Structure formats: C-alpha cells, structure tokens
Amino acid sequence: MKLFCFALSSLPSSKRSIFPPKDELRDVASTEPALWPKSLPILTGRATDVAWLEAYSECVVTVDERLRGRDYGDWCGQSLKALSPGSLSEWMTDPDFSPPSGESQKGMYVRLAEWLSDISDAKKSVILGVDADVVRGLVLLAMGLNAEAAGKLDILPQSWNVLSFYRTWRVQALSVPDNKITSEIIFGSESDR
C-alpha cells in the first residue's frame, strides 16, 4: 500500500503572513499541470479544494476532514503582526499551544496518526492532495517522529512525497518536483496506469 502525497500550493493569505480563513480558495493559476494516475482514489482535507483538484487531476476527489491542515481558530484571517510577541513565540515553539478555539500542532499530529493507523489496512494505494503541513506531519509520523520535529523538515509546494506500508510506514520519496520524468518514476509509464 502506498500513499502518493501531493503537497498543494500555499493559500494566498499564508503568502502574506496571514492565518488562512477556513474556506479560502487557492490561487490555482500558477499551478503547473501534473500527471496523476487515473486508477487511484484521491483524497483531500478541504471541501474548497475538490472542484479545482478534480479539474486538475481529471479524477473524482473525496474529502476526509482528518486530512485538513491545522485549525487556527480565532486567529483565522489575522496577520502574524497582530499577535502579541508572547503568543507568536508560543505558537512557533510549543507544539502543545493552541490558538483560541483552535488546534495545537500536537493535536493535528494525533489526528493524522489516527488516520495513518486507519488507512494502513487498505489494500489499494491512495493519492492525497493536501496542504504541505499535512504532508510534513504524515512523513514525520512515518519516520516515528512527532510534532516537536516539525521545524526540521520542509515539504515543497507542488511536490510528490511517497509513503509505503508493509508492517510499518516507510518514506520512499520526499519533495520530488512534479514533472513527467519523476511522475513516471513514481507511478510508472502511461501503460501502467
């Protein structure tokens, strides 16, 4: 069983140092066309990503809320500059810290760990079109690490990351750029799909 994790491009507000509103749409104009296997199911964590992901991949996309990014609660829509220095420092350094009405980094990892445990019995591989922080969490969990290690791994937007499961989770590829050559290496040739 394999998880082909595609790290989606950042949300526009994130690029402006603003915590993303819950239903913010992605700026998909800059998204490069990608090769997606047509025979595998695709999951995403946000309902707002379904329409463009279906157009982008030419496949049906299903939402699994457990694959959403971190919930920033009352901070959604606020600039990083609007936070007190103490709150900003806690958010950046303490995985147990939660924004008001939001979710801690550790809370997100617990949610992702439960999802990984549930999917490990699946017989068919799956494609995930999710935020880069979700991919980071899944990769770190596959390596036996936790939320404290989040600052030690970058996942590039619009990259493929591959995890496999046989008795335990393994990392097979990290931040592989999306192009025809690497897609053929990961998924096989057109005739294999």
- CA dist 137 and 134 (Å) reads 5
> Among 30-39, 63-72, 74-83, 120-129, where is mean pLDDT lowest?
30-39
Residue 17: count of CB within 10 angstroms of its CB: 11
State yes or no: pLDDT of 189 exceeds 60.
no
Span 131-143, pLDDT tens digits:
999 999 999 999 9
Q: Which residue has the tokens 């019995």?
A: 121
Span 73-97, pLDDT tens digits:
999 999 999 999 899 899 989 999 9
Average pLDDT, the chain: 88
pTM for the model = 0.89
The 2-7 sheet, strands edge to edge: 61-63, 42-44, 126-130, 2-7, 159-166, 168-177
State yes or no: pLDDT of 152 exceeds 50.
yes
Instruction: Retrieve residue 141's tokens.
Output: 């969990």
- CA dist 40 and 51 (Å) reads 17
